Amino acid sequence: MMEILIATEKPFAPITIRQIREVAEAAGLKLTLLENYKNKADLLLAVATADALIVRSDIVSDEVLEAAKQLKVVVRAGSGYDNIDLVSCTAHNVVAMNTPGQNSNGVAELAFLLMLYQIRGGFSGKTGTELRGKTLGLHAFGNVGKYVADIARGFGMDIYAYDPFVSERVMKNNGAKQCINVEELYLKCQYISIHMPSNEITRKSIGYNLIKKMPHNAVLVNTARKEIIDEEGLLKIFDERPDFSYLSDIEPDCKAIIEEKYKGRYIFTSKKMGAQTEESNINAGVAAARQIVEYFNTGKEKYRLNK
């Protein structure tokens, strides 16, 4: 019997596991679990017998793929796949896929949770501010960016977007005005929400020169990846602009400095929380299981990432 292994350092909700099990068993596949693991050795051991693997932000390195002797397919239950060594997947004859869009609403809602909590002074009792009528810039306009725009319309925000891969028409249909370059976005928007993947082009791409353009009381929200921010530039902005706040779904490497020097101007989640909802877990986890079953049954490589 072929085996699907779910290997998740940050586990899915139990209801998700039940639903994935149903999909697997209906297809005659055995489901095994490695949840909450604390060291790589456990992962290396668990993957040895797996024919298919479902992960979240778990690192699927060359070493893991080398240990996974039976592996045919790995699905990242989520969007960002910077945790998977795609070159090594190809070298090991493993198909890698993701499940784009499935957890995007959870991430979008978290962006608002961070913004609202911050501008209400973290429930400290001091007078806060509101989102209505404020400018919101979406830095990248993929699945999450669109969900954020959708929610922002309800808040009555003035929405702008910059994404070189998305047309003005798509932005307009989703209630956002297109900026012709990234500088325009940062110049116009008091709130910027980042929604791009981490890759060679985007890593450290948001730094001092861009952030300093933001208007008074600037709030930068990062529910994407910490690697996208140039932290040297970020610290310089914190130092120069007492009106600047940074809200991030995952701690930056320079967290200790910010915590010590810039109280009240940041929020950092200790674990990546954007997709940590039952709905996002179910959507992404079950989609991953279905893609595996479909691949085994028909060879269809839905959302294949490696060549």
Cβ(241)–Cβ(218) below 8 Å: yes
Measured from the CB atom, the residue of 151 and 273 that comes closer to ligand 3PG is: 273
CB nearest ligand 3PG: which residue?
78
The Cα–Cα gap between 224 and 249 comes to 7
**CA nearest neighbour of 116 among 219, 3, 224:** 219
| Shortest distance (Å) from residue 107 CB to ligand 3PG | 6
Alpha-carbon torsion 49, 55, 15, 25, what sign? negative
Q: How far is the CB of 254 from ligand 3PG (least distance, A)?
A: 20
Q: How far apart are CA 272 and CA 25, in angstroms?
A: 30
Minimum separation from the CB atom of position 253 to ligand 3PG (A) = 17
Where does 165-277 have alpha helices with state H? 168-173, 182-188, 208-211, 231-240, 255-261
From residue 3 to residue 42, what is the string marking binding to ligand 3PG with x (rule CB under 6 A)? -------x--------------------------------
Asked if 272 interacts with ligand 3PG (CB under 6 A), we say yes
65: number of CA atoms within 13 Å, CB side? 21
Binding mask of the shown chain, residues 40 to 79, with x at each position contacting ligand 3PG by CB under 6 A: ----------------xx--------------------xx
> Is 188 near ligand 3PG (CB under 6 A)?
no
Measured CA to CA, the distance from residue 49 to residue 226 in angstroms comes to 33
Q: Which is nearer to ligand 3PG, 78 or 137 (CB)?
A: 78
Q: Which of 103, 118, 291, 306 binds ligand 3PG (CB under 6 A)?
A: 103
State the Cα angle at 74 between 52 and 16, rounded to 5°. 75
Residue 80 in the binding site for ligand 3PG (CB under 6 A): yes
One of 274, 285, 286, 292 touching ligand 3PG (CB under 6 A): 274
Rg (alpha carbons) of the chain, rounded to whole number = 20
Q: Which residues bind ligand 3PG (CB under 6 A)?
A: 10, 56-57, 78-80, 103, 272, 274-276
